Amino acid sequence: MRALENYLFYGGFPELVKQPKELHLPTLNEYFNLILYKDLIERYKISNQFLVKVFYGIA
C-alpha cells in the first residue's frame, strides 16, 4: 500500500527511486518546469508565459 501511495504522489519516475526523499520534490518541480516550457511554451510558441504560469498556479 505504501508503494502505491508513493507512486501516486511522486509518479513513476525511476530517477526518484535512487534519490534521497528530500530531493524528490525539487526534482519533480524541475520536471514540471521542463515539461511546461519545452512541451507547451516552446512547441506552441506561447508569447504570454505569465498567463500560462497563472493557469498552472505557479505565478
Q: What is the pLDDT of residues 27-53, one digit of tens each?
A: 999 998 888 888 888 999 999 989 988
- pLDDT above 90 for 59: no
- pLDDT above 90 for 58: no
Higher-pLDDT residue of 17 and 26 is: 26
Q: CA distances (Å), 45 to each of 21, 49, 50, in order?
A: 35, 10, 13
